[in-house]
């Protein structure tokens, strides 16, 4: 379960968002240490959110009907995301057009940014439905913690991808910027097909 959680968390966290762009901004203005601290703060919150989602899911799937509903929801969400990213109009992601800032305490900044992501737990419920299609999970304390760890690590790695690649991810003439949405569209389309196959 841990590798699947890391992989799905990583790709699910790749789209441009306030956490990733703030980590990138910290990298460019304050250096790698600030970017790592901010990404770590965000990852700790994602770990907690992942654990909460796993506990909720573990309690609900005792009723098999709920598990089936979650799998259908996963299908709808993944196909919807594939459609969204494929037809999404490109907007400039130049840093100067973003309302970004760094603080003297990037770790707490990361904590705060991640805490504002109110869709995290519902997102992880969908991801858990996807994982349970491939893996028989026995919901113990260790399973809750492993999923939370995977959620946090995946989010951390996604943020650090932004920090490492730097401006290549935000320049409009960059191939990475140009094709990222299509890559994400294909990824979510594939996940939707897999969810359909295993539902």
Average of pLDDT values for 9-35?
Answer: 83
Confidence bin at 126 (pLDDT 50/70/90):
confident
Q: Is the pLDDT of residue 140 over 90?
A: no
First to last CA, the chain: 18
pTM of the model: 0.71
Task: Give the model's pLDDT for residue 169.
Answer: 61
> According to the 3-state scheme, what is the secondary structure of the chain?
CHHHHHHHHHHHCCCCCHHHHHHHHHHHHHCHHHHHHHHHHHHHHHHHHHHHHHHHHHHHCCCHHHHHHHHHHHHHHHHHHHHHHHHCCCCCCCHHHCCCCCCCCHHHHHHHHHHCCCCHHHHHHHHHHHHCCCCCCCCCHHHHHHHHHHHHHHHHHHHHHHHHHHHHHCCCCCHHHHHHHHHHHHHHHHHHHHHHHHC
The mean-pLDDT minimum among 83-87, 182-186, 194-198 falls in: 194-198
More confident residue, 119 or 184: 119
Number of separate domains in the chain = 1
Q: Is the pLDDT of residue 196 over 80?
A: no
- Domain ranges, residue 92: 2-198
Confidence bin at 95 (pLDDT 50/70/90):
very low
Task: Give the model's pLDDT for residue 48.
Answer: 94
Q: Is the pLDDT of residue 175 over 70?
A: no
């Amino acid at each position: 379960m841990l590798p699947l959680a890391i992989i799905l968390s990583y790709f699910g966290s790749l789209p441009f968002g306030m956490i990733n762009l703030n980590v990138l901004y910290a990298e460019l203005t304050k250096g790698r240490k600030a970017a790592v601290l901010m990404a770590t703060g965000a990852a700790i919150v994602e770990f907690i959110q992942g654990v909460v989602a796993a506990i909720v899911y573990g309690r609900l799937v005792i009723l098999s009907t709920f598990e089936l509903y979650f799998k259908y929801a996963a299908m709808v969400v993944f196909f919807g995301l594939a459609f969204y990213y494929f037809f999404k109009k490109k907007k400039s992601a130049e840093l100067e057009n973003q309302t970004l800032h760094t603080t003297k305490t990037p770790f707490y900044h990361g904590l705060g940014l991640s805490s504002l992501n109110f869709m995290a737990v519902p997102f992880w419920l969908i991801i858990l439905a996807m994982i349970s299609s491939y893996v028989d999970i026995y919901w113990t304390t260790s399973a809750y913690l492993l999923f939370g760890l995977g959620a946090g690590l995946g989010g951390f790695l996604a943020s650090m991808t932004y920090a490492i690649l730097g401006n290549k991810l935000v320049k409009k003439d960059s191939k990475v910027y140009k094709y990222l949405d299509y890559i994400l569209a294909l990824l979510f389309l594939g996940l939707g097909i897999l969810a359909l196959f295993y539902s």
